[in-house]
Structure 1
């Protein structure tokens, strides 16, 4: 399977100080797995757009480092430029590219927003697909009045309350973070320096004032020439050539024409192909007629003889001491947490469940943290048992060696108990989350919530068996009693949760029992 890829296009409110731009770029590039695809700095806008791509976790970290550096070096009290802005790191969108969903990009936006708000003490607004309310879906609505208005209204106007971070604006302003489809930043220059003409054309073109769907536009003066500055938010529904032709027709009304156009950042290949096909009138054109595409397909085929790496279940079935029941219990707990996250994700974004959406986002974050912890526990349990085997192989020829071996075995046994005991504790937390999504979440997925609780209960039972058998190797009976007593309390709690789940499945889910 190919590695998931996500694109991020952070916009920073600086272009005139190259040393600041380079410091921000270097901070982003310091994350090893990230590739910077493009950098565009506009002196009139006083704005730099950096396009980066990589695995989700790496891109998320790189975006944070870029924001952190911008907050350190940019003071909006001394910033001027043609482009609207409310922050040093003004807007940070994530775009799904390969093997990653829009929902996962929304979660990246939320995690990054929370981290920026709490760690850097910067107000953060979520927009586009990550927006927490309809009024924040569009970036221009959040940026209305820019930094100067935000300073005046923050803490006074409830509409300005950020999604994360303090209700206070400092020199770095606020940051807007979100998830969206691929966007084309596209500017058309006119054969005039009359910016009012560009503004009139922008008004005719943009959707908000009756123009083309998925087009945002404004008129500005750049390098002494009037410019229609645009964001095209869905090039498949409103292609680039249609926008250009409408601008051309509108410009003729004022006796001007198109001087040239420019891209800010990158453009999807399909957008250019669509325009080429339209202008060349290539009826019946197929994308695989592009030479480079056909070459890429031919060169990227993987050998059919390549063997897949053995997965965990194959390892489990091999007949070796590890991985064993403890690792299998952690695997069940991780699966249960994944199911909880799935039900919560199937709930967010649904109008019917709008009231519980904030709670579902909390559950997603908790479930994902538990899933990661339990995934690590799969390996940790095997390592703990391997440590016990290594201790049992220590020499025992002399009294000193026997004593050292005994101490090592005791220590290794405690380690082999602690991992499954932690799995048992976390299994209860997962069961509690499963109960919450069964109670509040998407009714269509209530059986998945029930399955999550059952998987977590199985994890608790299996982990408990591992704790009990390893207790046989302890010499301290008080320790044994303490461990077993905690297990019994966890098992009693699990029984109560199972009973509550069955009631919910019967009453809310109407499942026949």
Structure 2
């Protein structure tokens, strides 16, 4: 946030000086806490600003202290992501919706006694705070849907996330004899907010949270009722999905048969590095499956959290290895692109040589990362072989075989790329580290398979 605030200052300075527009800083970009709230800055609205801007305490942070009637002024700030969120009610009463909104919003409601507003010693109305911090809310009626809603602004998801706001509104609505039927997000939402919501509702059910990103989002959508009024398409509503470069996940988004066909084609990529990463992801996926099966095993109810923790850890390793599938092919393509650079002059040759070396180092680092991740994932595989559902011990065994193959296959790619890298000290260091990981992997695989074979018994 500190870095963002610096950028806000730089932009505000440019706007104020070059465009000659009054600029007020707000939130984290505003050092004066008496004027960092946007609603305070806006107080008096357009009509009142001609006078307000002349007051010493309201001198703009940048730009002229003159209010241009045609262009107005502006605010530039740095703040946490704001989520606009509406909760649907089974009522048409705006008054009752407002009552619930006042129950939960941070500002709460004005205190009244015998129908009269209670003032403090300074003559200002006394407020009764609502139950949620960093929440602004109001009730309204939506003709389009024929229902009342609580319209909410969540100004800091780290303080009050979506799922907490939803549950609190459910609680307050229930106290007033009203039912929450669903909710809707206005605009885009951060991925983390959806994943946190999915985990929250699974934990309430005492179920494992070590499930895929897609499943967590599905749970969040259904639990929050985000698809009650209109379909909720994660690809169009989650910020990270909207910003994602589809080319960065071309391979992993293929069907299994298409991926196999692409691998078998005359194209040199995907090659062994991508396959090594994918084998590793399948290995730890099997262990994650065992953890999830174990967390739901009849008679093991008291151990669901233990296995949920293992499953969540397995999901993290799996996701990292899946990303490395495309990353390895991208690394290979960078080498090919570097070799394709012009080499007509000495300067071009020098640029081309450096580009080849940079691409080669990257092509060493990616499979080495596969080695590290696949080896680390074996802690989950080993645990599931030892303490997981005994009916699934063979799955843990296959997972160990996959992890071993992933490490050894990735090391081959490290070595074949390292032979063309000029920094021989770096090469010696990375090869030594790779051999150590490979040896540890083979030893750990032997240990896991011994457990597996003893449990199978035949």
What's the TM-score once normalised by structure 1's chain length?
0.46
- Counterpart check, 1:454 vs 2:385: no
Residue aligning to 1:283: none
Residue aligning to 2:387: 440
CA contact (8 A) 2:288 2:380 kept: no
- Counterpart check, 1:424 vs 2:371: yes
Q: Deviations over 1:187-244 (max 9, x none)?
A: xxxxxxxxxxxxxxxxxxxxxxxxxxxxxxxxxxxxxxxxxxxxxxxxxxxxxxxxxx
Match for 1:27 among 77, 83, 86?
A: 83
> How far apart are residue 350 of structure 1 and its match?
2.0
Q: Say if 1:439 and 1:72 are closer, same or farther in 2 by CA, change over 3 A.
A: closer
Match for 1:327 among 268, 274, 277?
A: 274
CA contact (8 A) 1:93 1:180 kept: no
CA distance in 2, matches of 1:424, 1:454: 14
CA distance in 2, matches of 1:455, 1:321: 23
Residue aligning to 2:204: 127
Q: How does 1:190-269 map to 2 (within 5 A)?
A: none
CA contact (8 A) 1:129 1:179 kept: no
> How far apart are residue 70 of structure 1 and its match?
7.0
Match for 1:501 among 448, 454, 458?
A: 448
Q: Deviations over 1:155-176 (max 9, x none)?
A: xxxxxxxxxxxxxxxxxxxxxx
Please give the secondary structure, in 1, of the residue aligned with 2:294. Answer: coil
> How far apart are residue 362 of structure 1 and its match?
1.3
CA distance in 2, matches of 1:478, 1:349: 50
Q: Say if 1:28 and 1:353 are closer, same or farther in 2 by CA, change over 3 A.
A: farther
Match for 2:160 among 52, 68, 78?
A: 68
Which blocks of at least 5 consecutive residues in structure 2 are unaligned? 1-81, 102-138, 141-153, 184-194, 210-217, 230-253
What's the TM-score once normalised by structure 2's chain length?
0.51
Q: Say if 1:179 and 1:316 are closer, same or farther in 2 by CA, change over 3 A.
A: closer
Residue aligning to 1:342: 289
CA contact (8 A) 1:353 1:441 kept: no
Which structure carries more relative contact order (alpha carbon 8 Å, separation 6+)? 2
CA distance in 2, matches of 1:326, 1:131: 32
How many residue pairs get aligned? The number is 277
Q: Say if 1:363 and 1:400 are closer, same or farther in 2 by CA, change over 3 A.
A: same
Please give the secondary structure, in 1, of the residue aligned with 2:295. Answer: coil
Please give the secondary structure, in 2, of the residue aligned with 1:465. Answer: helix
Match for 1:394 among 322, 337, 341?
A: 341
CA distance in 2, matches of 1:308, 1:493: 33
> How far apart are residue 311 of structure 1 and its match?
2.5
CA distance in 2, matches of 1:71, 1:108: 8
Q: Say if 1:496 and 1:82 are closer, same or farther in 2 by CA, change over 3 A.
A: closer
| RMSD of aligned Cα (Å) | 4.6
Residue aligning to 1:83: 174
Q: How does 1:294-333 map to 2 (within 5 A)?
A: 311-333=258-280
CA contact (8 A) 2:206 2:305 kept: no
Which blocks of at least 5 consecutive residues in structure 1 are unaligned? 1-25, 30-35, 51-61, 95-106, 114-124, 133-177, 186-264, 268-306
Residue aligning to 1:511: 457
Residue aligning to 1:477: 424
